[in-house]
Amino acid sequence: MKTILLSGNTALSYAVKQLAVDVISAYPITPQTTMVEKLSEYVANGELDAEFIPVESEHSALSSVLAASAAGARVFTSTSSQGLLLMHEIMFITAGLRLPVVMGIADRAISAPINIWNDHSDIMAQRDTGWISIFAESAQESYDRTIQAYRIAEDENVHLPVNLNFDGFILTHTYEPVTPIDDELVLKYAPKKRRKLVLDPNNPMTFGGLGSPEYYFEAKYQAIKALENSMETIIEADKEYKKISGRGYGLYNAYMTEDSDTVLVSLGSIGGSVREIVRRMRRDGLKVGSLSLKLFRPFPAKELAEVLSKTKCVVVLDKASSPGAIGGPLFLEIQATLKSFDVNVPVIDIIAGLGGREIGPEDIRVMLNKGLKVASEKKVDKLLDYVGVYL
């Protein structure tokens, strides 16, 4: 198909339309709103044969698609920030019921104070809910990953919900060239299938009944293992998608990491900016590298340990804080990964970009130079630092 101009929000909506979802339920919240507005247009215009359910809250939005998914429907919902927090209870339930719900998250800061701009504090507050969690860098990747998400979530060996994260405003409202694949190819890659375990009057069963101590542990354990074991399906889905589209993303994008003295690890749209600064610093003779992580849950610990073991210092860029902890959420994962796999490389954490604070080229240089200093001196003076704050 020809290349078209789409924002991150409309790119995702276009993919959802091609996937022929049956039920969409959502409540508007900035900067997610235009995503479901476009889907409502598709339904109203007859371009998508789906039930669109306008609800009174995000809690109800996720509850609605949970019920529809339990009845066998292919479903979609989306949200941001405070809306995602309101879904917190139902996110645990969705994963615990092993329902293949797909949700788009336009990542946004959490109040207070009120802020509508991007950081990752909303999704990081949900990191233990049991969902597969994927991050995109561009509108094209938002489109491609949405299609992959249904292939992954509905796989009979997975049966888990997937959240797709893309940075609010930076991706949601920025228009980029996107090359979609043909409608028939989308449904051939991610076909709608009749699931075995659904609510059916002719074959009665219960979902989410009381789990007493005799059964609860086993149910949770099965969901935990399913999330861990979904890695193989995620990798295979990406490889198969590359065959039909020419585009594959892997678990991460490692750039100039082979001979680097320091590597900056990031999530989301900032990855492209980091790679550009790495290119410039390389021209100045500085051995720096970038690793843009694509998959946050399940966390690809073994794979990251192998890549990061080749450098002399790892700098983690967190766009969310973990108050009272020794560092931000991504830092804690990276630090634990390297220690667990006996990789003796120092790790430092930089928290930046909270509430949409701009992370400019010089900020990225500062982060990389901090890593080079640790690599040179072979010691960490400050485990956690902040870049871009005025205090």
**Tens-digit pLDDT profile for residues 229-259:** 999 999 999 999 999 999 999 999 999 999 9
What CATH number does the domain containing 375 carry? 3.40.50.920
Same domain membership, residue 198 and residue 346: no
Report DSSP state, residue 131: -
pLDDT confidence of residue 4: 97
Closest CA relative to residue 369, chosen from 296, 235, 277:
277
35 and 178 within one domain: yes
pLDDT confidence of residue 30: 97
**Could you give the CA distance from residue 47 to residue 75 in angstroms, rounded to a whole number?**
16
Q: What's the pLDDT score for residue 75?
A: 98
Contact indicator for 180, 143 with CB cutoff of 8 Å: yes
Residues of the chain with pLDDT under 70: none
Q: Are residues 229 and 188 in the same domain?
A: yes
- Same domain (yes/no): 83, 136: yes
User: Quick one: 163 and 78 in the same domain?
Assistant: yes
Do the beta carbons of residue 168 and residue 82 sit within 8 Å? no
What pLDDT score does 391 carry? 82
Q: Are 229 and 141 part of one and the same domain? A: yes
Q: Where is the domain boundary, 217, 245, 273?
A: 245
Contact 180, 14 (CB under 8 A): yes
pLDDT attached to residue 85: 98
Question: What range does the domain containing 129 cover?
Answer: 4-245
Q: Give the end of a domain, one of 194, 210, 245.
A: 245
Interior/surface letters 310-346, b for 16+ CB within 10 angstroms, e for the rest: ebbbbbbbbbbbbeeeebbbbbbbbbebbeeeebebb
Instruction: Give whole-number Cα distances, 254 to 219, 265, 293, 342, in Å.
Output: 36, 9, 8, 21
Report the C-alpha gap between 333 and 295 in whole angstroms: 12
| Beta carbons of 344 and 253 less than 8 angstroms apart | no
pLDDT of residue 1: 77
Q: What is the DSSP letter of 180?
A: P
Q: Cα–Cα–Cα angle for 175, 24, 139, nearest 5°?
A: 20
Q: Report the helix count and the strand count for the chain, using DSSP H and E.
A: 13, 15
Both 235 and 92 in one domain: the answer is yes
Evaluate whether 32 touches 79 at the Cβ level (below 8 Å). yes
CATH number for position 239? 3.40.50.970
Cα–Cα distances in Å, from 26 out to 33, 124, 187, 192, 266?
Answer: 9, 21, 24, 22, 29
Q: Which two tokens stand for residue 58?
A: 């995000």
Same domain, 162 and 270: no
> Are residues 268 and 300 part of one domain?
yes
Q: Is residue 352 part of a domain?
A: yes
- Report the first-to-last Cα separation within the chain, whole angstroms: 50
Considering the domain architecture, whether residues 109 and 195 belong to the same structural domain is answered as yes
Please tell me the predicted confidence (pLDDT) of residue 242: 98
| 112 occurs within a structural domain | yes
